[in-house]
């Protein structure tokens, strides 16, 4: 599998995080670390664009769920998702991640929703 990569861009007061590669333990740790650093810096609105991440394993799912709880429940932040493959969407539904945040067809719609 391709090396996991993260690109973060600021769009207004929303941090858009775009991932590429397999979201496994190292990828999940990198994503969690990047978002936790942003959270510590005061960012409370996130869009996770997983277009480049068609597969997530169980460890990656666990880390993503932990990250969502930390942002949304513990810090009253907002998260929206976009770019979910069918497999990823099913896994996120089964683990309850999609109960915490919404999935949008486009990044622009996700950014608008988090800004609302």
Q: What is the pLDDT of residues 82-109, one digit of tens each?
A: 999 999 999 999 999 999 999 999 999 9
Range(s) of the domain holding residue 103: 5-115
Question: CATH number of the domain that 104 lies in?
Answer: 3.30.750.24
Residue 81 near residue 102, CB atoms below 8 Å: yes
At 49, phi and psi to the nearest 5?
A: -100, 110
The alpha carbon of 15 is separated from its chain's Cα centroid by a whole number of angstroms, namely: 10
What is the four-CA torsion angle of 54, 69, 32, 3, rounded to 10 degrees? Answer: -10
pLDDT band (50, 70, 90) for residue 72: very high
* Number of structural domains in the chain: 1
Q: What is the pTM of this model?
A: 0.95
């Amino acid at each position: 599998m391709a090396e996991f990569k993260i690109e973060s861009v600021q769009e207004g007061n929303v941090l858009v995080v775009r991932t590429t590669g397999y979201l496994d333990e190292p990828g999940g740790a990198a994503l969690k670390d990047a978002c936790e650093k942003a959270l510590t810096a005061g960012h409370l609105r996130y869009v996770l664009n997983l277009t480049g991440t068609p597969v997530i394993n169980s460890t990656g799912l666990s880390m993503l769920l932990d990250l969502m709880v930390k942002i949304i429940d513990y810090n009253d932040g907002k998260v929206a998702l976009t770019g979910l493959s069918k497999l990823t969407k099913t896994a996120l539904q089964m683990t309850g991640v999609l109960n915490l945040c919404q999935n949008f067809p486009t990044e622009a719609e996700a950014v608008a929703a988090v800004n609302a």
